[in-house]
Structures are given as C-alpha cells and as structure tokens.
Amino acid sequence: MAGTDIPFLRQLAPADADDLQRLVRIRSVSRGEPIVRAGAAGDDVALVLSGRVKLVAYGADSREVVLAIRNPGELIGEMAALGGQRRSATAIAVDDVEAGYMRADELRSFIAEHPDAALVLIRMLVRRLLDATRDLVDLATQDSVGMVAKRLLELATDHGRPFEGGTRIELTLTQDELASWTGATRETVSRALRLMRRVGWIATDHRTITVLDPDGLRQRCGEGAPRR
C-alpha cells in the first residue's frame, strides 16, 4: 500500500539530501494554487518541503480525477523532466505549501553526480509505476465500497493521528475528491461511507473521518494483513 512509502528526500544519504536542498529555489504556494500544470513543458521539478499536494488529471468531460497525494519530501514532475515530455498531471497545494524548484537539467546533473541518489530515484519511479498498475487492477476488480476502503486505509496511514480509539484522517478531502480518487460518483461514495459507519468501520464528524476498524477495511478491500 502507498501509505508505507518513505518520502524520496528521507531515503537519501544526509550529504546527498543537503546537496539537493541547496540546489532548489524555495517558493511558497497558497492552498488551492497549482504547483505545476498539466500540458506544460517538463523543464522544472518541484521538491515538496512542507504541506501536501494532490496530483490531478482531467478527462475528456473535464472531470477531475485525483491520482495521488504527495507529502513533504516527495518530488513532483520528475518523470516529465527526465523523459523530456509534457506534464500529464496538475499538482495542486492541499495546504499552504513550501516547494523547492530546480530545472530539469539541474536534476539530471544532480543524479549523475550522486549515484546513490540515482538509485533511490529509480526505486521511487518503479514503486510509483507498481502503485499505478495496482490501482488499475483494483479499479477493474473492486467494487466502490472496496475502493473507498482502500483509499481510507491509505489516508489513515499517511495522514492519520490516534483519536478516541481509532485513527483520525487529518487531510480534508471532499466527497467529490474521494469519488474521483476511487473512480466512483459522489452519491456512490456517500452510500459507501454510510455503510461503513453502520457496521462500525469508521466514524465521521464535521467533514472528518476516523478509522475505527482497519482490519474490517482491509478485509473488505482484500489488502490482507498490514505491511511492515
């Protein structure tokens, strides 16, 4: 599950991490504002230093699809920069974000001069491709309740804090955003959340969700035992 991943910056050796952070130019991005835009040339890369970022794409009907949530320490736009392609997704600040920007050629020079960091980057890209493949399989085989259960487990792992016998998710996503992240409609997600409340898997209050029974959610989405 994506929630067990360690951010890119924290996987680097201390000297490599320091060199990378000296390389970037820091910019503040207000909540709701884009960090990078889909369709733009991939000539720079952003390193999330604080706050959280959602990656979104837009379908033919202009419907927003949430692809992922990125945390502090993660790179944004590295695939377009390394591949010389235009960006396939827009990154939007979920919180007030501090991001460090570097040019694509600066990233390429950095990984050429820091081979251990290059290996970390390769592992990160492989992991993201595996996550994307897993999501495609789940979208094809899971029902909407299973997909919502999977996303809630990921959110609880990445953004959860202990709260009254459960794990409160400290990231506010609207039901529309949760729906776009699960390939469902808002009404379907609302029904799934009602079911989960009724069986005691979650509790909701003032647009917050607390996971009370993670084992129930894992069983529902077929995740099995939590990863170590």
Does CATH place domain 2-114 in 2.60.120.10? yes
Q: What is the pTM of this model?
A: 0.77
SS3 at position 214: helix
The whole-number pLDDT of residue 225 equals 46
The whole-number pLDDT of residue 224 equals 53
Instruction: Look up the CATH number of domain 142-221.
Output: 1.10.10.10
The whole-number pLDDT of residue 115 equals 96
Structural domain boundaries in the chain: 2-114, 142-221
Q: Which pLDDT tens digits describe the chain residue by residue (228 residues)?
A: 444 468 999 999 999 999 999 999 999 999 999 999 988 888 899 999 999 999 998 876 777 788 889 999 999 999 888 888 888 899 999 999 999 999 999 999 999 999 999 999 999 999 988 988 888 888 777 888 999 999 999 999 888 899 888 999 988 778 888 888 887 888 999 999 999 999 999 998 877 899 999 999 999 987 754 443
